[in-house]
Structure 1
Amino acid sequence: MQLDGLHRYHSRRSPVVARGGMVASSQPLANAAGLRVLDAGGSAADAAVAVAAALQVTQPCSTGLGGDAFWLYFDAGERRVYAANGSGRSPVGLSVEAAVDAAQAARAAAGATGAGSGKGGHGAHSDRFLRLPPFHAHTVTVPGAAGAWELLLERFGRLPRASVVAPAVRLAADGFPVAPITAEWWTRGVHRQLAHFPHGHELMAGGAGAAGGGSAAGATGGGNSVPRGPEPGETMRLPTLAWSIEQFGLYGAEPFYRGEIARRIVAAVQAEGGVLSMEDLAAHETLMVEPISLEYRGSTVWECPPNGQGLAALVALGVVGEYEKSRGQDASLHVMIEAMRLGFAAAAQYVADPDIAPAPVAELLSPGELRVRAQSISDGHRLEVLPSPAPGAGGNDTVYFCTADREGNVCSFINSNFMGFGTGIVPEGCGFSLQNRGHGFVLDAGHANSYAPGKRPYHTIIPGMITAPDGTVTAFGVMGGMMQPQGHLQTAVALLRDDIDPQSALDRPRFQLNEGEADGEVLLEAAAGPSATAPDALTALGHTVRVIPEEERAIFGLGAIIRRTPDGTLWGASDPRGDGAAAGTV
């Protein structure tokens, strides 16, 4: 069967409406897992962990237990938004000097050979700042996902852990057909990452690990002679991953930080020259944090605080709001791009581990400060903004999803390996890969986000939420590296200013400041109609513009939205750029 126009838009989507509960994610099978938990009496929190676990199975090329997670949760009883930071720290045993040596060696090797991928290649991202090579074992920070899953269930869950993750265990053990766009990303990650490491075959087609979490010999009698990812629709079975998820169901996060899985994580990293230790894992803590927020058009937009980059989205949205109030007109595409430049400039200066370099969030989001930034925008020419670090590239390397239950609780959740399969390092017999979040540090002394042992890096993944005075609650997000705050800005404006439905908000063509560079080129999604004239108009204002063809639209991220109105109706949407959907229950 030929798949016609995999990345093209040949059909329309309607928003999904329901009352009993809802899930919106990048994988329909993950939706089914969440809906099953909701139908069993679970809360939005239970459904969120069910979806996260199922996405680990059906989209391991973006997410998993080897990565980090953040969430926002609206508690309907308290009418309050809670936030959690599930990001891990760098190894205490990795000195600044060792990190710099690894980065300089990789940069020299890449310059000598022209290569940019493989185990130690400087690779997928290139900028003016020195960084750890993206797929090096030194980039493995403590995986925070298991702790974030556990904390959400402890605080807001109703069902036993084992029943929450049972659908994911079944998917991994019995097998599932791989969605078309996911198959493309998965195959790319096999060649870019998994094929370079000993146990990567546990996540390759025909090479899943042995059941029960034992030896990682391939299901066909050893690893693949020719590494490959799954074809669209091919059934994948991931028995070693089923075992790992089952361990979470039985024992929670303990095995991942102090038990057998932790030992396998450490062994895998150290076998590749890394220094992550059992002590690093045991010291991990998932933090309940105070969410940060901004008023726009009468509603409150919520984000997680630094070390996440939600601050960039709020600064940009605040600048748009102040511009619109002072000029008495809606912000144009040019103005929104300029506001995003200012948001990224602020984030580049201040977003870092708050334990080491706390950001002046209240000052940055104050009306006076936002007004000053808005006044710097010219309607006749683009801003000249100081160069800034871009801690990651845009793309499809994360999963964002949202859930809602009958009682009005709503969860906004994001989970990521950072760059596809992360490092590509797979702990033996565990069936998941380890993130490369340490690539997000810069190795320039004195920068707020400079590398240090035991530090959390600038984090790209951000869930969003909106609350309105009338009781409407909206969970939203757009995954994809540095696209995320840009997607948040564009989605919030579409929902709150333009008052369009959630699906139409996600369908809109997007812009992106390439790789989050405040002074970088503007990428525009190819579009027909009035938007087709945007490139020429922006070029005339001094922007460097590049139009992205249909087949590359995934770089503009994949979003999901659930909006709950005061009468209890749920409106769901999922991004047409991916394999996902929104689904409700009765």
Structure 2
Amino acid sequence: MRDFQLPGRSPVLSAHGMAATSMPQATLAALDVLRAGGNAMDAAIAAVAVLCVVEPQSTGIGGDCFCLYAPAGERRVVALNGSGRAPAGASMDYFEAHGISALEATSPHAVTVPGAISAWETLLAAHGSKSLDEVLRPAIACAEEGFFVSSRVGYDWESAAGKLRATGATSFLPGGNAPRYGDRFVQPHLAATLRAIARHGARAFYEGEVAADMVDSLRRRGGVHTEEDFATGRTAAHFVAPIRIGWHEYEVWQCPPNGSGLLVLMMLGILGGLGPAPDGPLGITRWHRQIEASRLVYRDRDAFLADPLQVEVPVAKLTGPDYLAGLRRLIRDDATVADLPAPGETLLPPHRDTVYLSVVDRDGNACSFINSLFEHFGSGILAERSGVMLHNRGLGFRLDRGHPNCIAPLKRPLHTIIPGMVTRNGEAVLSYGVMGGHYQPFGQTSFLANYFDYGLDLQEAIDLPRVFPFGGKVEVERGVPAALCEGLARLGHVVAPIDRPHGGGQAIWIDRSRGCLVGASDPRKDGCALGY
């Protein structure tokens, strides 16, 4: 139990349904759908559509998504890949011929065909009970009537103002500046596009005037996209077999590659063999072990993770007990690993910004959903007439000919966004996710250990100060104790403070023994968990 003399919030409890999102408007939209008889999938898509309006720096209909869904009573987890593909003209021959050796954040070449709208339609058709017309109404209202800019959104918006000026996305800089906290922001063109999607389905996004506007916006900047690429993207979202690992008495589920959920399973497999650290949730040994494990698995990510429809990704090997045991043996409690083995090898023989939301309905359906533009405002390329801000997920590609994750026609890039789900005896008990770009696998592993290994309640498990090894340094939030920083440095880690917090997160625990839902939402964002 938290110390009630210190700032913080308590977990939220309810009996019939719950939503946890990064903005209150989205949480309320989800609850309205649930109370009107909709299920968790209906509510999740209503919520994410609102987030695409009111948290525009993090997500949008010009982005991608992934989803894990546990249908009540079916003892299974369903996964959907809603990530988009590179255009047909995106070949290494093209890039080499044009002297392009790296992808830039605001380049049209960093824009893959957005997958979110294809995914929303596919998910509703398979698991929803309401139409796109019904679930998009709250988002349309937010776009038409406007919304008041909240604290975190305004903070992020200001930091991206330079990008928006450089790309000419002037409608997102009213009066030449980013909107400030409390300002109202209206998006009439986006509202019209959402209305068209509500009326005509995903076809209204991937074909016709909206698609033509997006293609024109990209080609004027040198992109190779065509209207045919977008038309093909209408049916790109597809269901995939989720991947999992046994952990304690639970099973932890992730979407398979090209998402990075594989890394969560690998870190849990490595750390599970060591057991909880003796010095607790903010202990030096605890974080040293996880940092070392992450160095090993992120190295493997950069070597192997790619689109499995085009290259082989050795998921079974990388999550196998022998391989993980070999990685575990490299970790010492008294020092860092000075020289990492080559990717895919150990001491055994050989054999690289977002919104997340969770919804559970009264029947027990659980939805874990993540939607993203990647960096703040994605590519910064705005299709003005349709109001669609385009993501830059193509930055996940490599331009190294022969690398598994090398860009290629109709290929999906490495993705950082990962929803999570935990089951016990086949039934969903935890729908959760942690936002924050490359931080996400490390953040999910931290959250799960905070809750299951170290006994923090659901909200405390999200709130705990965060560290993350990235770019050769261990980046620490201001709340990390000085003793922990000093201890990590003694072990050989280079510790550095960061200005921005590591990501955000939401979670819903399904307490089946008491018939209770327990929700938590990250104070690093502007949102909340609510139930009824």
Please state which band the TM-score falls in when normalised by the shorter chain.
Answer: over 0.9
Shift of 1:299: 0.8
Conserved? CA contact 1:323–1:375, under 8 Å: no
Distance in structure 2 (CA, Å) of the matches to 1:20 and 1:532: 43
Is 1:146 equivalent to 2:117 in the alignment?
A: yes
Look up the SS of the partner of 1:260 in the other structure. Answer: helix
> CA shift at 1:386, angstroms?
5.9
Tell me which amino acid in the other structure corresponds to 1:67: G
Question: Aligned match of 2:494 in 541, 544, 548?
Answer: 544
- How far residue 131 of structure 1 moved from its aligned partner, in angstroms, is 2.7
Residues 26 and 400, structure 1, Cα contact 8 Å, conserved in 2: yes
Whether contact under 8 Å (2:106, 2:167) holds in the other structure is no
The amino acid that maps onto 1:538 is L
Cα distance 1:77–1:259, how it changes in 2: closer, same or farther (>3 A)? farther
Q: Indicate yes or no: 2:473 matched with 1:521.
A: yes
Question: Is the contact between residue 60 and residue 432 of structure 1 (CA under 8 Å) also seen in structure 2?
Answer: no
1:381 is the counterpart of 2:335: yes
Aligned positions of 1:317-356 closer than 5 A: 317-324=268-275, 332-356=286-310
User: Alignment partner for residue 580 of structure 1, among 520, 524, 527?
Assistant: 527
Deviation string, structure 1 residues 233-256 (Cα, Å, up to 9, x no partner)? 111111111111112211221112
Shift of 1:472: 5.2
Quote the Cα distance in structure 1 between the aligned partners of 2:468 and 2:55: 24
How far off is 1:471 after superposition?
4.2
Deviation per CA, 1:318-362, whole angstroms, max 9, x where unpaired?
Answer: 10012229x999862111111111221221121101012221111
Equivalent position to 1:75, from 47, 71, 74:
71
Q: 1:557 maps to which residue?
A: 503
TM-superposition CA deviations, 1:478-500 (whole Å, max 9, x none): 11110100101101111221232
Which whole-Å CA distance do the structure 1 matches of 2:182 and 2:309 have between them? 46
Give the conservation status (yes or no) of the 8 Å contact 1:202–1:240.
Answer: no
Cα deviation, residue 201, structure 1? 2.9
For 1:323 and 1:288, locate their aligned partners in 2 and report how far apart those are by CA, in whole Å: 34
What code does the residue aligned with 1:563 have?
W
Alignment partner, residue 116 of structure 1: none
Q: One-letter code of the match for 2:507?
A: I
TM superposition shift of 1:415: 0.6
Partner of 1:55: 51
1:174 and 1:308 mapped to 2: Cα distance?
A: 35
1:298 CA drift (Å): 1.3
- Indicate the residue corresponding to 1:170 in structure 2: 141
Determine the structure 1 residue equivalent to 2:349: none
- Matched to 1:45, the amino acid is M
- Alignment pair present for 1:428 and 2:428: no
- Equivalents in 1 of 2:99, 2:231: separation in Å? 27
Range with greater deviation from structure 2 (462-471 or 246-255): 462-471
Corresponding residue to 1:315 among 266, 275, 291: 266
The answer to whether the 8 A contact 1:297-1:497 is kept is: no
Aligned residue number for residue 161 of structure 1: 132
**Percent of aligned positions with the same letter in both sequences?**
41
1:364 aligns with 2:318: yes
CA distance in 1, matches of 2:98, 2:176: 27
Q: Which amino acid aligns with 2:274?
A: Y
Equivalent runs, 1:274-285 vs 2, <5 Å: 274-284=223-233, 285=236
Aligned to 2:347: none
Letter in 2 for 1:577: R
**Alpha-carbon distance between aligned partners in 2 of 1:457 and 1:492, rounded to the nearest angstrom:** 27
1:203 aligns with 2:172: yes
Q: Tell me how far apart the structure 2 counterparts of residues 10 and 247 of structure 1 sit (CA, whole Å).
A: 48
Q: Among 236, 239, 248, which residue is 2:188 paired with?
A: 239
User: How far, CA to CA, are the matches of 2:395 and 2:497 in structure 1?
Assistant: 28
Is 2:217 aligned against 1:268?
yes
Amino acid at match of 1:369: Y
What is the letter of the counterpart of residue 340 of structure 2? V
SS of 2:194 mapped into structure 1: helix
Cα distance in 1, alignment partners of residues 250 and 34 from structure 2: 28
1: CA distance, partners of 2:340 / 2:17 = 45
1:399 maps to which residue? 355
Counterpart code for 2:258 = N
CA contact (8 A) 1:179 1:233 kept: yes
Give the Cα separation in 1 of the matches to 2:460 and 2:385: 43
Number of the residue aligned with 1:489: 445
Query: What is aligned with 1:257?
Result: 206
User: Normalising by the residue count of structure 2, what TM-score does the alignment of the two structures yield?
Assistant: 0.92
Aligned residue identity for 2:478: A
Question: How far is 1:532 from its partner?
Answer: 2.7
The residue number in structure 1 matching 2:348 is none
Structure 1, gaps ≥5 residues long = 1-8, 105-129, 206-225, 392-396
Instruction: Answer whether contact 1:100 1:132 (CA < 8 A) is retained.
Output: no
Whole-angstrom distance in 2 between the partners of 1:471 and 1:291: 15
Q: Deviations over 1:443-497 (max 9, x none)?
A: 1222211122221111111111111238451111111110100101101111221
Please tell me whether the aligned partners of residues 75 and 426 of structure 2 are also in contact (alpha carbons under 8 angstroms).
no
Q: 2:156, 2:479 → 1: CA distance?
A: 24
Q: Is the 2:76–2:426 contact (alpha carbons within 8 Å) kept by the matching residues of 1?
A: no
Q: 1:339 to 1:102 in 2, by over 3 A?
A: farther
Q: Which residue matches 1:446?
A: 402
In 1, the alpha carbon distance for the partners of 2:12 and 2:97 equals 52
Q: How many residues of Structure 1 are paired with residues of Structure 2 in the alignment?
A: 512
1:290 aligns to 2:241 (yes or no): yes
The alpha carbon displacement at 1:160 in A equals 2.2
SS at match of 1:433: strand
Report how far residue 504 of structure 1 moved.
0.6
8 Å contact kept, 1:398–1:418: yes
Deviation at 1:103, TM superposition (A): 6.9
**Whole-angstrom distance in 2 between the partners of 1:418 and 1:16:** 29
Q: Would the alpha carbon gap of residues 323 and 175 (structure 1) be closer, same or farther in structure 2, given more than 3 Å must change?
A: same
Q: Distance in 1 between matches of 2:99 and 2:116?
A: 27
Match of 1:465 in 2: 421
Greater Cα offset, 158-167 or 93-102: 93-102
CA distance in 2, matches of 1:334, 1:102: 45
Give the TM-score of the pair, scaled to structure 1: 0.84
Tell me the equivalent position of 1:89: 85
Aligned residue type for 1:544: V
Which shifted more, 329-338 or 55-64? Answer: 329-338
Q: Summarize the alignment of residues 172-187 of structure 1 with structure 2, pairs less than 5 Å apart.
A: 172-187=143-158
Q: 1: CA distance between counterparts of 2:172 and 2:116?
A: 19
> Matches of 1:28 and 1:512 in 2, distance apart?
28
The equivalent residue for 2:433 is: 477
Inter-partner Cα distance in structure 1 for 2:118 and 2:90: 23
Q: Give 1:310 shift.
A: 0.7
The one-letter amino acid paired with 1:522 is V
Distance 1:91 1:463 in 2: 26
- Whole-Å separation in 2 of the counterparts to 1:381 and 1:29: 47
Shift, 1:406, TM fit: 0.6
- Counterparts of 1:29 and 1:444, CA distance in 2: 43
- Give me the whole-angstrom Cα distance separating, in 2, the residues matched to 1:584 and 1:77: 21
CA-based RMSD: 2.1
Aligned mates of 1:458, 1:103 — CA distance in 2: 23
Partner of 1:500: 456
SS of aligned partner of 2:412: coil
SS at match of 1:72: strand
Q: State the one-letter code of the partner of 1:583.
A: L
C-alpha distance after superposition, 1:121-155 (max 9, x if no partner): xxxxxxxxx53111111111010010111111111
Q: Which runs of 5+ in 2 are unaligned?
A: 344-351
* Secondary structure class of the residue paired with 1:283: helix
